[in-house]
């Protein structure tokens, strides 16, 4: 295979390269963390070089261990891996940003990450609790100026702790807030958002492209439907008849079609699975092509269905989903 770094990568606005297909490592709480390590090793073995995790996922020790085992056995070098971590909502205060990244680095055993992104635009009460709640069980939010948080990320890049910086779950207004910040040093390289045929984000994608910001898709295969975040009654994307018929025509799976769809529209796509068979399958999307008719049919599935609504933050001034895009 040719040099994966260039051939299956997109150039970010800061000059670094991001592989267009990434491996997602999030799993619901009841999944043993050891599975994240095993799955990450399988993913690297089958060819994934972009690994996506986060402080919130509480699996960075395991994922880091998997990466180091694959370096130790000669499968990859550190520089072959593109690793993303995310700044959780309890650390958006500027003075907490670098310590949060350093805490992830320590767990991973890495001296830098490739990408550090703001996980969500709204802050939660600072402290050790991942989801700080009040006596009535509601998540406690606070307001931190995103421009101040962003400056702290810029400093992490300057310090060499991360190669690139970006955001997640931002709408176009929140992106503009950063882009129009006086004294902006670095633009966000990417915006990682929920994106799949039922929520294809075409307006946000167009906006991001116009600003040279890469859109990265999570829940690209629908969602793992963690009841903590997702309504159990939401439709199953991979059962969609149109995806199934396109898949059949190409002798592929609906999941492979959903992933390929994103690549062809210039979206970097994350695929999460802890099953060895599906991890292999999810990587096999570079050797077939959807026709313009296929693409149009999949575009037609859009129904603005959001699996992860983050409804608890609906009244926060930075709540991202009250805007159309």
Indicate which residue of 26, 57, 198, 307 is catalytic. Answer: 57
- Smallest CA-to-CA distance from 309 within 200, 216, 220, 194 is with 194
Overall average pLDDT of the 179-192 stretch: 98
- Give first-to-last CA distance, the chain, whole Å: 38
Overall average pLDDT of the 97-104 stretch: 98
Q: What residues pair up with 141 in beta bridges, in sequence order?
A: 124
Q: Are strands 162-168 and 190-194 parallel, antiparallel or unpaired?
A: parallel
Q: Is residue 159 helix, strand or coil? A: coil
Identify the pLDDT of residue 233.
83
Overall average pLDDT of the 55-60 stretch: 96
Is residue 196 a known part of a binding site?
no
What confidence tens digit (pLDDT) does each residue in 252-295 have?
Answer: 999 999 999 999 999 999 999 999 999 999 999 999 999 999 99
- pLDDT over threshold 60, residue 3: no
In the chain, what are the domain boundaries? 16-234+267-275
Mark whether 83 is an active-site residue. no
pTM of the model: 0.96
- pLDDT over threshold 90, residue 171: yes
DSSP 66-98: HHHHHHHTTS--GGG-EEEEEE-GGG-SHHHHH
16-234+267-275 CATH choice from 3.30.70.20, 3.20.20.100, 3.40.50.1970, 3.90.1150.10: 3.20.20.100
- Rounded to whole angstroms, the Cα distance separating 269 from 201 reads 13
What confidence tens digit (pLDDT) does each residue in 213-228 have?
Answer: 999 999 999 977 777 7
Q: What residues pair up with 22 in beta bridges, in sequence order?
A: 50, 270
Q: What's the angle, vertex CA 167, arms to CA 166 and CA 171, rounded to 5?
A: 135
Residue 170's alpha-carbon distances to 71, 96, 112, 165, in angstroms, are 34, 20, 24, 14
- pLDDT over threshold 60, residue 188: yes
Q: What residues pair up with 192 in beta bridges, in sequence order?
A: 168, 216
- Rounded to whole angstroms, the Cα distance separating 155 from 145 reads 16
- pLDDT over threshold 60, residue 5: no
Identify the pLDDT of residue 232.
81
- pLDDT over threshold 60, residue 4: no
- pLDDT over threshold 70, residue 7: no
- Smallest CA-to-CA distance from 273 within 262, 282, 260, 263 is with 282
Overall average pLDDT of the 48-76 stretch: 97
The average confidence (pLDDT) of the chain is 95
């Amino acid at each position: 295979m040719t040099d994966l770094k260039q051939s299956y990568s997109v150039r970010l606005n800061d000059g670094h390269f991001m592989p267009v297909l990434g491996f997602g490592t999030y799993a619901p709480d009841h999944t043993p963390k050891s599975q994240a390590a095993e799955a990450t090793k399988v993913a690297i073995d089958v060819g994934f070089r972009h690994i996506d995790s986060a402080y919130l996922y509480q699996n960075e020790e395991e994922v880091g261990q998997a990466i180091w085992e694959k370096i130790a056995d000669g499968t990859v070098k550190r520089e072959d891996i593109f690793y993303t971590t995310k700044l959780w909502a309890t650390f958006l205060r500027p003075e907490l940003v670098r310590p949060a990244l350093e805490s992830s680095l320590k767990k991973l055993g890495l001296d830098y990450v490739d990408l550090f992104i703001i996980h969500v635009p709204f802050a939660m009460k600072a402290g050790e609790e991942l989801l700080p709640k009040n006596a009535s069980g509601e998540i406690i939010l606070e307001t931190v100026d995103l421009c101040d948080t962003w400056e702290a990320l810029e400093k992490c890049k300057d310090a060499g702790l991360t190669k690139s910086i970006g955001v997640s779950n931002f709408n176009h207004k929140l992106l503009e807030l950063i882009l129009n910040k006086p004294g902006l040093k670095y633009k966000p390289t990417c915006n990682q958002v929920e994106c799949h045929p039922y929520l294809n984000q075409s307006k946000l994608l167009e906006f991001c492209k116009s600003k040279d910001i890469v859109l990265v898709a999570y829940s690209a295969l629908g969602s793992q439907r963690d009841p903590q975040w997702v309504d159990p009654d939401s439709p199953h994307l991979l059962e969609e008849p149109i995806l199934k018929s396109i898949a059949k025509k190409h002798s592929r799976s609906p999941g492979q079609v959903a992933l390929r769809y994103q690549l062809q529209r210039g979206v970097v796509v994350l695929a999460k699975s802890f099953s060895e068979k599906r991890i292999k399958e999810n990587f096999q999307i570079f050797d077939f092509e959807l026709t313009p008719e296929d693409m149009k049919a999949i575009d037609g599935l859009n129904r603005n269905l959001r699996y992860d609504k983050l409804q608890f933050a609906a009244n926060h001034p930075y709540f991202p989903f009250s805007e159309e895009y």
